A and B are shown apart, each in its own frame.
Chain A
Amino acid sequence: MSSDIALQAIDLIKYFPTGSSGILGRPTDLVQAVDGVSFTLPAGKTLGIVGESGCGKSTLARLVTRLIDPSSGSVVLDGVDITTLSGKALREMRRKLQMIFQDPYSSLNPRHSIGQIIGDPMRIQGIVTKGNEKAEVQELMQRVGLNPEHYNRYPHEFSGGQRQRIGIARALSLHPSVIVADEPVSALDVSIQAQILNLLENLQKDLGLSFVFIAHDLSVVRHIADQVAVMYLGKIVEIGDSATVYSNPSHPYTKALLSAVPVANPAMRHSDKRIRLVGDVPSPIDPPSGCRFRTRCWLATDLCAAQEPPLALDESGRAVACHFPLTTAVTIGNGAV
């Protein structure tokens, strides 16, 4: 296996059973939370995953970290399929793949001191000797911008931004190669968000980390990600270089999503280029036939209802799942869109 691939997801599928009928209460429906997602994360890079609530991005995060098992598909880390690991091999894998959570309040044990919270993973994995632990933890605290003297303090004594730094230090404590961050800044104030994003970028530079960065905030992902995947109802509809996808979106959903973001510039207020999607995201229990976005798409035809568009590469190296991608016109060269 080539060493420049940090993490690979291959055709991941996760269906959650739901509903019940009769006395046995057997599940009657399946929530198709993640339905055939593949991506490759190059070492030292950041893959951003964006989408609205219910698109499956958090389920995807839990699948690649193996907090839940997929219905089918595989996750390859360092050349090893981690979906079949157990016992010692699984524990070994956990060391390489760590996670940062959204809520810096509920993800820290209020009864443990910061020293314990950051030191526990090292102790459990046995990668530190008793005498060294405190020094190691304090070095990590320093690295993420916490005062090492606060070693014995408890989570409630810290602000939201500082707690998120504690969560980051904990994730770093095992020297992982890949970090999956699920909405790591969305609970923070804007001025603090910028601090945490800068910290993550510096850590990536210094330690050569690879990130899977999940967020609903498109501007945050735009800033931090090298590649971006746009999800809709459990599927990736567009994936490619951040710069390409943001400057020249190809899937109608990507375009609509980008144009819905309020721009911090009052002069843009009356711009007519806005695309307004009507209605809501359909239920993942009974997704639309064919293309799942067709019920809200202004370009949809009978073809979209009958046939699911495959995720196909275009000339700029990005993959799009659409029968009528917005950028074909550009590649043909008639200047439309």
Chain B
Amino acid sequence: MTQESVLSVQNLSVVFHTPDGDVAAVSNVSFELRSGETLGIVGESGSGKSVTAASLMRLNNSSTATTSGSILISGVDVLTAEESDVRRIRGSEIAMIFQDPLSALNPYYTVGKQIAEAYLVHHPNASKSDARGVTLEMLKKVGIPNPEKRIDEYPHQFSGGMRQRIVIAIALINNPKVLIADEPTTALDVTVQAQILDLMKELQKEFNMAIILITHDLGVIAEAAQEVLVMYGGRIVEQSTVEALFSEPTHPYAWGLLGAVNSLELSGRGALATIPGSPPSLISLPAGCSFNPRCAHSSEICMTDVPALRVVGSQGSVTACHLPNDEIISLGRKAAAR
């Protein structure tokens, strides 16, 4: 691999202080991201995936949240850097797109103005007409038909899919090295979702950027990611290549997720495989492995010790589970085949 590392996260933890107690939203998350690569993060509501993403741009409110660990982008630690440095990095080195494109856009400004604004912030010496030219170019790249006319229209004049293209245009106008996409297609219809995923792939090639794709949809992960983090209760429980996740998943939670999805896709009319119970509350995470109350394979040690991440199997997957290696591999293959 000759791709350079563009983002390195070490031991990231985020604790929110709430009236009901401290919420450990993210615990000890570490990963590397290389240019041109797509890292998928999957998990259910409350698994910590969106908080992880927000931390990468230092968007967590420092008065209510304590963030520790390190996040290195181009040699700068986002968590300890001066506010002015972080502001320089936001948008130019790392950019973000969100689930709901309508609330990500300002209804009072034309889309052209909003895209140009993002450009002018990082190019203070550029003229307005330069910015307009760059904006037009970008609108063409994200596939807005008739950009010369539509550049002066307002967000409400665009459909959901077109709005998401505008948001992507804003994110990419400064050619960032990392794009964080937090559920970018969840609010869209399937046919439009397919268009947006294709567009992201195309632009990734063109800009050679890394993408962090956050989603709850394993189908989207299979479609677009190369590496995958599976998160549960604020922790990474499995880290693997997308091929390994779907052929030899190594964590009981991943087995459950795959089982629920696979049985839907294949549609026998039998009962669906389910994971019993519901995701844990982050205020009172179960002791030990936080998946233990829902796990069919848990034993005593799971109730007391948090399992450390370790390499399991031939495909280099990393997993946090107390089960012995050979058992994990045989159960994992069974889960994938189901």
Q: Chain A interface (Cβ within 8 Å of chain B)?
A: 52-53, 159-162, 189-195, 197-198, 201, 216, 218-220, 222-223, 246, 256-257, 260-269, 274, 276-278, 280-281
Contact = CB atoms under 8 A, between A and B. Distances in A.
Contact of B267 (A222, A257, A265): A222
Interface stretch (B97-105, B120-128, B211-219, B300-308): B211-219
A264 B246 contact: yes
B68 interface: no
Interface of B: 44-45, 159-162, 189-195, 197-198, 216-223, 242-243, 246, 256-258, 260-265, 267, 269, 271-276, 278-279
Given A161-B278, A262-B222, A263-B219, A191 B260 contact: yes
B140 to A, nearest CB: 16
B260 to A, nearest CB: 4
Nearest to B256: A191
A277 B196 CA distance: 12
B223 A263 contact: yes
B213 to A, nearest CB: 12
Contact of A191 (B44, B198, B269, B271): B44
B220 A53 contact: no
Chain A binding surface, main DSSP class: helix
A299 to B, nearest CB: 16
Given A189-B44, A280-B159, A261 B222 contact: no
Contacts of B278: 159-162, 189, 191-192
15 contacts: A52-B191, A160-B45, A189-B278, A190-B44, A191-B279, A197-B272, A222-B264, A223-B267, A223-B269, A223-B272, A262-B197, A264-B218, A264-B221, A269-B222, A276-B191
Contacts of B192: 52, 280
A194 B223 contact: no
B267 A246 contact: yes
Contacts of A192: 278
A161 B198 CA distance: 33
Nearest to A162: B278
A247 to B, nearest CB: 10
Contact of A265 (B44, B222, B263): B222
A216 B190 CA distance: 8
A162 B246 CA distance: 29
A266 B166 CA distance: 28
Given A262-B217, A266-B243, A194 B190 contact: no
A191 B257 contact: yes
Q: Which 7 A-B pairs have the closest CB atoms?
A: A262-B219, A191-B275, A52-B189, A194-B272, A189-B44, A194-B274, A260-B194
Nearest to A218: B190
Nearest to B145: A279
A53 B192 CA distance: 11
A201 B268 CA distance: 13
A276 B194 contact: yes
A268 to B, nearest CB: 7
A52 B187 CA distance: 11
Chain B binding surface, main DSSP class: helix
Contact of A264 (B159, B190, B258, B276): B258
Given A190-B257, A194-B274, A198-B272, A219 B267 contact: yes
Nearest to A296: B191
Contacts of A277: 191, 194-195
Given A264-B246, A264-B258, A280-B161, A257 B264 contact: no
A236 B243 CA distance: 38
B143 to A, nearest CB: 9
A314 B264 CA distance: 28
Contacts of A260: 190-191, 193-194
A266 B190 CA distance: 18
Contacts of B45: 160, 189
Given A190-B257, A194-B273, A264-B262, A280 B197 contact: no
B240 to A, nearest CB: 11
Contacts of B162: 280
A269 B274 contact: no
Contacts of B216: 189-190
A192 B256 CA distance: 11
Nearest to A161: B278
Contacts of A195: 274, 276
B197 to A, nearest CB: 7
Q: Which of B192, B217, B271, B274 has the most CB of A within 10 A?
A: B274
A189 B217 CA distance: 9
Q: Which of A198, A218, A223 has the most CB of B within 10 A?
A: A223
A196 to B, nearest CB: 9
Contacts of B274: 191, 194-195, 198
Contact of B222 (A52, A159, A266): A266
B280 to A, nearest CB: 10
Nearest to A277: B191
A264 B198 contact: no
A261 B193 CA distance: 9
A274 B278 CA distance: 35
A6 B190 CA distance: 31
B38 to A, nearest CB: 11
Contacts of B190: 52, 216, 218, 257, 260-261
A274 B45 CA distance: 30
B263 A194 contact: yes
Nearest to A224: B269
A201 B222 contact: no
Nearest to B162: A280
Contact of A194 (B159, B160, B198, B264): B264
A276 B161 CA distance: 14
Contacts of B261: 190, 219, 264
